Amino acid sequence: MTCKCENNCADQKEQELLKIIEKHKGKKGALIPVLHDAQDLYGYLPLQVQKIISEQMNIPLAEIYGVVTFYTQFSLHKKGKYQIRVCLGTACYVKGSGKIYEELKKELNLSGDGTTEDGLFSLESCRCIGACGLAPVIMINDDVYGELTPADIPEIIKKYRDRKQGQ
């Protein structure tokens, strides 16, 4: 559902962000909790949000950007409803996760890590999911899929597309 009050909604989110900052302001180590809460609010951490945090907390923007880009739980880009993480760690890669990643890119019409035009899927490569015994592994949100072959990918993606259509 698209919001018909984009500016008003943006203002409401900014007000919520200011409340988040105020709640944590002055506390030691407050930046990480503020970033987590801000990402929960916006779904990601766009530059404009980082600027507000910088100004309100009196922390240089470069420092905030450094934290956001250092920790993998933070994102600079909007994520899809279904976030797909492909393990490219050693165990998974040796068992073919590179081919799984290529098949996912093809299936989702992406050239690399990113989000599909419809906002349904995000694709992200990572170094370890922690399920090496099931290699090669992907995660879609909290669902783990292991012992995959490229031929498994179209059916898995179809399952999530069908959810969107209520099937």
pTM of the model: 0.69
User: Do 33 and 105 reside in the same domain of the chain?
Assistant: no
- In a domain, residue 77? The reply is no
Among 70, 94, 118, identify where a domain stops: 70
Q: Which domain holds residue 130?
A: 82-166
Given a cut of 70, whether residue 6 has pLDDT beyond it is no
How many of the other CB atoms lie within 10 Å of CB of 166? 5
Residue 123 has φ and ψ, to the nearest 5°, of: -115, 135
- In a domain, residue 29? The reply is yes
Side-chain-side CA neighbours of residue 55 (13 Å): 8
pLDDT in tens, 87-134: 999 999 999 999 999 999 999 999 999 999 999 999 999 999 999 999
- Tell me how many helices (H) and strands (E) the chain has: 7, 5
User: Do 48 and 107 reside in the same domain of the chain?
Assistant: no
- In a domain, residue 110? The reply is yes
Give the per-residue pLDDT at 5: 53
Higher pLDDT, 26 or 10: 26
Q: Grade residue 71 by pLDDT with cuts at 50, 70 and 90.
A: confident
- In a domain, residue 1? The reply is no
User: Do 64 and 94 reside in the same domain of the chain?
Assistant: no
The CATH number for 129's domain is 3.40.30.10
User: Do 58 and 133 reside in the same domain of the chain?
Assistant: no
User: Do 100 and 61 reside in the same domain of the chain?
Assistant: no
What's the mean pLDDT in 19-46? Answer: 93
User: Do 56 and 119 reside in the same domain of the chain?
Assistant: no
Q: Grade residue 26 by pLDDT with cuts at 50, 70 and 90.
A: confident
The residues facing 114 across adjacent strands are: 123
- In a domain, residue 76? The reply is no
User: Do 61 and 122 reside in the same domain of the chain?
Assistant: no
DSSP helix/strand/coil, 142: coil
Q: What is the DSSP letter of 95?
A: T
Q: Grade residue 2 by pLDDT with cuts at 50, 70 and 90.
A: very low
Structural domain count, the chain = 2
